[in-house]
Amino acid sequence: MQFGIFSVGDVTPDPTTGRTPTERERIKAMVAIALKAEEVGLDVFATGEHHNPPFVPSSPTTMLGYVAARTERLILSTATTLITTNDPVKIAEDFAMLQHLADGRVDLMLGRGNTGPVYPWFGQDIRQGINLAVENYALLHRLWREDVVDWEGTFRTPLQGFTATPRPLDGVPPFVWHGSIRSPEIAEQAAFYGDGFFHNNIFWPADHTKRMVELYRERYAHYGHGTPEQAIVGLGGHVFMRKNAQDAVREFRPYFDVAPVYGHGPSLEDFMEQTPLTVGSPQQVIEKTLAFRDYAGDYQRQLFLIDHAGLPLKTVLEQIDLLGEEVVPVLRKEFAVDRPADVPDAPTHPARLARARW
């Protein structure tokens, strides 16, 4: 099972000091977080994609290419690649290039994003969001698997005899996760192609996540890719830790209250009760994360959001230390207990290459 960090890259004032980091500081902080993730033995770093304030990661492949040059083992991913407003030709070429630079340590998570105005900025209509996701991925899937593509659709100009360059490393495209919070159509899309399904899992209650994951697993089996238990599932989660749980709650509360994604709503206590958010001791994070398996089954990837809402970099790096030293080693051991032998491991480039050659 893979464990890692995902960042949405928000530039948010620290509510305890009033200071707002510069865009440069925030970008550099995301790089430092990725390097720290590798240092402590985590498996994955993923960055979001946004094109509006207060977020900075508008060019994920640029950032991940820079991180690739400074790491050796870390899998580099996106927490969202906007399949609706990016040209699938550009996605195909950008991520194949990144694959070569990172020696295969690359995958990506496709999504529609959560910012409505981005659609007209890139010449699209938000009312066509699902249709764009379906059509654009159908083209992307072919561009990575066919050397010469003839194609005609609704949302972009036709292609005639087109070859995306460079070709995927070793002839194996980057693994694709389809990310969704609430859209069953995206779970269906992931199942149809036999790709991974990633549920963000930081907002919604367990019963909603359970329904989405079960739908994906059932449809994965329906399309003949394997049993429902063999479907490839990833989950998000949001944590904040201190050795003492009361210290964690006291320190995190002002950040939670003004967080741009979920602040100004329910209390911290209510939100923790109703969603996967865990603010407390490392042991509490372990216990709540292990409980994800109760409603999602045996899954392959767990990513944590830890740098949201204006938390200073020093604090975030302390969180990663706690993950690497106290939380993830226990989770690796406990998630392996009674894991059925036919449940696949998380996909990696070497494993997928070996399978393709076999």
The pLDDT assigned to 114 comes to 66
Instruction: Tokens 């949302």: give the residue.
Output: 155
pLDDT per position as a tens digit, 60-112: 999 999 999 999 999 999 999 999 889 999 999 999 999 999 999 999 999 88
pLDDT tens for the chain, 358 residues long, are 999 999 999 999 999 999 999 999 999 999 999 999 999 999 999 999 888 888 999 999 999 999 999 999 999 999 999 998 899 999 999 999 999 999 999 999 998 876 778 888 888 888 888 899 999 999 999 999 999 999 999 999 999 999 999 999 999 999 999 998 778 999 999 999 999 999 988 878 899 999 999 999 999 999 999 999 999 999 999 999 999 999 999 999 999 998 877 777 889 999 999 999 999 999 999 999 999 999 999 999 999 999 989 999 999 999 999 999 999 999 999 999 999 999 999 999 999 999 888 7
pTM (2 d.p.): 0.95
**How many residues are recorded in the chain?**
358
Annotate 246-263 with DSSP letters as a single string.
Answer: HHHHHHHHHHHHH-TTT-
Angstrom CA distances, 229 to 184, 217, 301, stand at 18, 7, 14
DSSP 3-state of 165: coil
- How many whole angstroms separate alpha carbon 217 and alpha carbon 228? 4
Report the distance separating Cα 99 and Cα 11, nearest Å.
Answer: 28
Q: Which of 113, 117, 168, 106 is nearest to 136 (CA)?
A: 113
Phi, psi torsion values for 114, nearest 5 degrees: -125, 20
Residues 6+ apart with CB under 8 A from 128: 155
Give residue 313's pLDDT: 97
pLDDT of residue 102: 98
What does the alpha-carbon distance between residue 187 and residue 220 come to, in Å, rounded to a whole number?
9
